[in-house]
Chain A
Amino acid sequence: MKELRMILRKEFIHIIRDRITLLLVLAMPVALVLLFGFTISTDIHNARIAVLDHSKDTQSQAFVRKLSSSNYFQVVSYPNTETEIDFQFKENNIKLAIIIPQNFENELENEHNATIQVIDDVSDLNIASILNNYVRSVVQDFQNEYNQTSTLGESFSITTKMKYNPNMESVYMFVPGIITLIMILVTALMSSITLAREKETGTMRMLFITPVKKIYVVIGKVIPYMIISFLSTIVIIIISVFVFKMPLNGSILFLLLLCIIFMLTAASFGMLISTISTTQLDAMMITMMGLFLPTVLLSGFLFPLNSMPMIFQILANIFPAKWFILAIKDVMIKGSGFFDVWPYLTILFGMAVIFISISLKMLDKRN
Chain B
Amino acid sequence: MTGKGGTGKTTAATALALALATGGGRVLLMEVEGRQGVASLLGSAPLPYEERVMLSAPGGGSVSVLAADAEAALLEYLEMFYGMRRAGQALTKLGAVDFATTIAPGLRDVLLTGKATEAVRRREGGRRSPGGPHQYDAVVMDAPPTGRIGRFLNVNSEVAGLARMGPIHEHAERAMSVIRSDQARVHFVTLLEEMPAQETRDGIAEVEALGLRPGAVLVNMVGPRLLEGVELTAAAIGELDEVALIDGLRVVGATDPTGLAADLAGEVRSYALRHLLELRVRGELEDVGRPLVELPRLEGGMDRAALTGLARRLSEQGVRK
Pairing of A with B: no
